Structure 1
Amino acid sequence: MFEDFDALSFDCYGTLIDWEAGIADVLRPWARASGSSLSDEELLLAYADEEARVAREEPEMLYPFVLAAAFRATGAKLNIPVTDDDAARLGTSVPDWPAFPDSAAALKRLAEQFKLIILSNVDRQSFAGSNRRLGVDFDHIVTAQDVGSYKPAARNFDVLAEYADQQGLRLLHVAQSLFHDHVPASRLGLPSVWINRRHDRPGWGATPDPKVSVQPAGEFHSMADFAEAAVPNGSPGPMA
């Protein structure tokens, strides 16, 4: 029951911000300029494991440099050159990534009932650009820069849980990525809701295969559906 919670923590990229569209908008013209006919989905699939690897191996690297390094590694994998300008273009692109059309309205509605927290795999400056697209003031923000590691590292969720405990908050985690969010949240015993943005598309896109089974407490196909269930007519309701 949603009334069991008084705070929601959110993954941002993939859940609130359309990071696949943002990344593809950089990778697509780069690939086309080389003569490649790879689809957006194929480019994202090639890219996904490289970002996860760089973030795992370089946990204190700021996110713009993770993006740039992952882009270079993707180019090496696909045998397509990545220039310094190419790498910098992706590294600085986060503020340009679009919000999903339902994110801002859903967050505004959820803020009527819950404290809103961000747990994101970016740096503070990159998130500030995205926050302007979301239209709400979050009650607390935790980035990879703050923690010194990237999800799915357990430390990111430990920091989130420590904050919730200090504030006396009953926390529900809301995210799209099984790999980055639901698997580590489950290991911590943190209940979560899956915003399954890719429900109508096969494959994992820019998110690596979690490779383990995980069962979130609920599943919705959009933030709009989640907000309607959590705050129907301005009051909390049962979990779908």
Structure 2
Amino acid sequence: MDLTKFQALSFDCYGTLIDWEAGIAAVLSPWAHEQGLSLSPEELLLTYGDHEAAVEASTPSALYPEVLATAFRRTGDVLGVPVSDDWARRLGSSVPDWPAFPDSADALARLAARYKLIILSNVHRAGFAGSNRHLRGEFAAIITAEDVGAYKPAENHFRALDKTLGELGVDRSGLLHVAQSLFHDHVPAKREGLPSVWINRRSDRPGWGATPQPSGDFSYDLEFASMGEFADAVERAF
């Protein structure tokens, strides 16, 4: 792939730029300890992941804090331990506290010298604003689930993205999508005919973590273990 031919990059945020698994586990783990559950953070994330995707699909207009709280309650039901309103609110309000991956801010700054950057995220506006205090990103556009009334892998984000590209004067052939989640991003990227880069943040761990197993056909053109490696490849290309 010729990385110099693109004018814009669209990014998933949570899992790609922000370590959402660490953020979710920071709430689930102390809750499990309080309840006397002997489950590792990875086991908790595996139990939680499918519930979040199911809530997003069934209530597409719900804001992300509500999605998090409802998914947490369903996780507790499966584990046989009810989740209190206090714990549910704690997870729902935790998004701004989720840490950025150590390489994200620097990689975004380097990539911004070459491309227009667009956020395409399953989150609410206030949540991303909190996250961007960690990322310090200069984005040409920010498209959230709150803006489009749905959650990826639904098509709503991508229809909004098409409109945004027109407003930015970027041809669709000049866009490259960059994401970690095969389920949320690379399945719809293939459906939409978009070239994509897989930031495989779990390359050193087996399993899917908090992300559901992809439920459709997916593809990607390049794979990197981190945003830093991707930014290095871009600089070498230019």
| TM-score class, shorter | over 0.9
- Residues 57-98 of structure 1: CA distance to partner in whole angstroms, max 9, x if unpaired? 000000000000000010001111200000000000000000
- C-alpha contact (below 8 Å) 2:31/2:87 kept by paired residues: yes
- C-alpha contact (below 8 Å) 2:16/2:201 kept by paired residues: yes
> Using the alignment, how far apart are the partners of 1:178 and 1:136 within structure 2?
23
Displacement after TM superposition at 1:162 (Å): 2.4
Give ranges in structure 2 of 5+ residues lacking alignment.
none
Displacement after TM superposition at 1:159 (Å): 1.2
- Residues 11-60 of structure 1: CA distance to partner in whole angstroms, max 9, x if unpaired? 00000000000000000000011111111111001100100000000000
Letter in 1 for 2:199: I
- Residues 85-141 of structure 1: CA distance to partner in whole angstroms, max 9, x if unpaired? 000000000000000000000000000100110000000001000001001221100
Name the structure 2 match of 1:67. 68
Identify the range of structure 1 (61-70 vs 158-167) with the bigger mean alpha-carbon deviation. 158-167
Letter in 2 for 1:83: S
Letter in 1 for 2:182: L
> Using the alignment, how far apart are the partners of 1:32 and 1:167 within structure 2?
49
Name the structure 2 match of 1:157. 158
Name the structure 1 match of 2:126. 125
Name the structure 1 match of 2:82. 81
Name the structure 2 match of 1:215. 219
Letter in 2 for 1:128: A
> Using the alignment, how far apart are the partners of 1:203 and 1:139 within structure 2?
34
Name the structure 2 match of 1:230. 234
Identify the range of structure 1 (156-165 vs 33-42) with the bigger mean alpha-carbon deviation. 156-165
Name the structure 2 match of 1:178. 182
Displacement after TM superposition at 1:161 (Å): 2.1
Structure 1 counterpart SS, 2:90: helix
Displacement after TM superposition at 1:214 (Å): 2.0
Letter in 2 for 1:86: W
Matches within 5 A, 1:111-150: 111-150=112-151
Identify the range of structure 1 (199-208 vs 213-222) with the bigger mean alpha-carbon deviation. 213-222
Letter in 1 for 2:124: D
Kindly tell me the number of residue pairs found equivalent between the two proteins: 234
Name the structure 1 match of 2:103. 102
| RMSD, aligned α-carbons | 1.0
> Using the alignment, how far apart are the partners of 2:197 and 2:166 within structure 1?
20
- C-alpha contact (below 8 Å) 2:112/2:138 kept by paired residues: no
Name the structure 1 match of 2:28. 27
Name the structure 2 match of 1:56. 57
Structure 1 counterpart SS, 2:10: strand
Return the TM-score normalized by structure 1. Answer: 0.95
Name the structure 2 match of 1:15. 16
Structure 1 counterpart SS, 2:216: coil
Given the alignment of the two structures, is residue 167 of structure 1 paired with residue 171 of structure 2, yes or no?
A: no
Given the alignment of the two structures, is residue 42 of structure 1 paired with residue 43 of structure 2, yes or no?
A: yes
Structure 2 counterpart SS, 1:131: helix
- Residues 194-230 of structure 1: CA distance to partner in whole angstroms, max 9, x if unpaired? 0000011000000000033422010000000000001
Give ranges in structure 1 of 5+ residues lacking alignment.
none
What is the percent sequence identity of the aligned residues? 64
Structure 2 counterpart SS, 1:90: helix
The list of structure 1 runs, each at least 4 consecutive aligned residues, that deviate by more than 6 angstroms after superposition, is none
> Using the alignment, how far apart are the partners of 1:138 and 1:80 within structure 2?
41
